[in-house]
Amino acid sequence: MVAMVSPSSLFLILLFLSIPFSESNLTTDYYKNSCPQLENIIRETVTSKYISVPAAAAGTLRLFFHDCMVGGCDASVLISSNPFTKAERDADINLALPGDAFDVIVRAKTALELSCPGIVSCADILALATRNFVSMAGGPVYTVMLGRKDSLESNISSVEANIPRANTTMDEIIRMFESKNFTVGEMVALSGAHTIGFSHCKEFAYRLFGYSRSTPTDPSYHPKFSAALKTLCANYKNDSDMAAFNDPMTPSKFDN
């Protein structure tokens, strides 16, 4: 039997993830005096992006996760590489992070610099934007603690051991989350965020085509499910953008 993740459980995990692992001196009113228009600017920016590109909700949630799992929620994933150092965003697993997710952070930061220059960190912008996207997609509304500082460093070598891949074993994933003080239950709850968005066929095609010499398809897949995915992903080798919705019934609704 598969255990269902309750909305309240997922709310608590999202709230926990909104707090960086290395920071504790955060408050809800950190920018009350220095940037009183913060929430309005974030709301307007996110709403505009969501109306034009609904998929930005899942993309930004993923960007936030990839940021927080590597050294905490410090916006290090937003830093570009330079001639001396390859940054996190150039890691193989981060190359598919959607441009619209980066774009909404840039737009919000630009608007905030006009209103209150040099005040709001990109780390806080990403945390707030993610919260708003989740809410707009039908998910829980939760309070975001503020006061994060942006990282000044970002190294590609930090990514590999901290972000699960499609072929990462369950034991490896559990150890990865436990190293960040998540319980197995919390890990399962966080996985519920996959209720929105999609997965590229190339990431799981090995489970559909040529799984083993004796079993072409992963036997853990339901036959009807695997047949549908095979049809959908048949041309994945020629089209790297081919993808399947994580939740084919309500792909854009945060309703896990």
Asked if the model's pLDDT at residue 12 lies above 60, the reply is: no
pLDDT band (50, 70, 90) for residue 148:
very high
Say if 250 falls within a structural domain: no
Mean pLDDT of the 21-28 span: 72
Say if 75 falls within a structural domain: yes
Residues 62 and 188 reside in one and the same domain: yes
Asked if the model's pLDDT at residue 5 lies above 50, the reply is: no
Residues 125 and 189 reside in one and the same domain: yes
Say if 100 falls within a structural domain: yes
Place of tokens 């901290």: 162
Tokens of 44: 């307007």
CATH number at residue 43: 1.10.520.10
- 225 is in which domain, residue-wise? 197-245
pTM: 0.86
Q: Is 222 annotated as a binding residue?
A: no
Residues 224 and 128 reside in one and the same domain: no
Query: Which of 38-52, 70-84, 116-130, 160-174 bottoms out in mean pLDDT, i.e. has the lowest?
Result: 160-174
Name 200's bridge partners: 243
Mean pLDDT of the 179-189 span: 89
Asked if the model's pLDDT at residue 98 lies above 90, the reply is: yes
Residues 103 and 188 reside in one and the same domain: yes
Asked if the model's pLDDT at residue 127 lies above 50, the reply is: yes
Q: Is 164 annotated as a binding residue?
A: yes
Residues 220 and 124 reside in one and the same domain: no
Q: How many domains does the chain have?
A: 2
140 or 8: whose pLDDT is higher?
Answer: 140
| Cα–Cα dist 130/1, whole Å | 31
Q: Is 46 annotated as a binding residue?
A: no
Of the residues 173, 193, 213, which one is the last residue of a structural domain? Answer: 193
Tokens of 107: 């737009």
Say if 165 falls within a structural domain: yes
Q: How many CA atoms lie within 13 A of 232 on its CB side?
A: 21
Asked if the model's pLDDT at residue 194 lies above 90, the reply is: no
Q: Is 218 annotated as a binding residue?
A: no
Residues 167 and 133 reside in one and the same domain: yes
Q: Is 255 annotated as a binding residue?
A: yes
pLDDT band (50, 70, 90) for residue 4:
very low
Q: Tell me the DSSP string of 192-242.
A: GGGGSSEEEHHHHGGGTS-S-SS-SS-TTS-HHHHHHHHHHTTTTTT-TT-
Say if 153 falls within a structural domain: yes
Q: Tell me the DSSP string of 108-166.
A: HHHHHHHHSTTTS-HHHHHHHHHHHHHHHTT-------B-----S---GGGTTTTS--T
Mean pLDDT of the chain: 89
Asked if the model's pLDDT at residue 8 lies above 70, the reply is: no
Asked if the model's pLDDT at residue 18 lies above 70, the reply is: no
- 161 in Cβ contact with 91 (< 8 Å): no
**Residue 256: its pLDDT value, please?**
67
245, containing H or E segment: strand 243-245
Burial, 197: exposed, middle or buried (Cβ in 10 Å; 0-12, 13-18, 19+)? Answer: buried
**Residue 47: its pLDDT value, please?**
98
Residues 113 and 208 reside in one and the same domain: no
Residues 97 and 209 reside in one and the same domain: no
Mean pLDDT of the 27-40 span: 97
Asked if the model's pLDDT at residue 112 lies above 90, the reply is: yes
Q: What is the pLDDT of residues 220-247, one digit of tens each?
A: 999 999 999 999 999 999 998 899 998 8
Catalytic residue positions, numbered: 66
Burial, 137: exposed, middle or buried (Cβ in 10 Å; 0-12, 13-18, 19+)? Answer: buried
Residues 64 and 184 reside in one and the same domain: yes
Residues 168 and 183 reside in one and the same domain: yes
Mean pLDDT of the 105-114 span: 98
Asked if the model's pLDDT at residue 10 lies above 80, the reply is: no
